[in-house]
Amino acid sequence: MTFLLRYLSFRIGFGKQSELTNISGLLSKSSINSDVAEKLKHTYSNYSFRTLQHKYGKTIVVQARVRTDDMGPNESHRHWYAYQEISNQVVSWNLT
């Protein structure tokens, strides 16, 4: 439910400016994966992750599934991010 509320507030435009992060480069799968890796390394020390990307209009919603060494084989943490290109600049928003 929290994800849905944050996503809807992002789509409507009620997000806080501090939650937006500028990203250099084009909006591509590799640039999104490198940005997600940069964000996750501040939270986890030894981890692996994979992303699922869904495009809705001009917005790409990314789900990152993260596994660490201390987790079981069927456990993972999920992090959600939204990416959008606005006036020749790519911005991201943490939805979790």
CATH of the domain at 37: 3.10.450
Residue 21: partners with Cβ closer than 8 Å, 6 or more residues away: 35, 91, 92, 93, 94
Q: 61 and 53 in contact (C-beta within 8 Å)?
A: yes
Collapsed DSSP state (helix, strand, coil) of residue 19: helix
What is the pTM for the complete model shown? 0.75
Residue 93: partners with Cβ closer than 8 Å, 6 or more residues away: 10, 15, 19, 20, 21, 81, 82, 83
At residue 19, the pLDDT reads 47
Which range marks the domain in which residue 82 is found?
Answer: 2-94
Q: Tens digit of pLDDT for each residue in 53-89? A: 999 888 899 999 999 988 888 899 999 999 988 877 7
Number of domains in the chain: 1
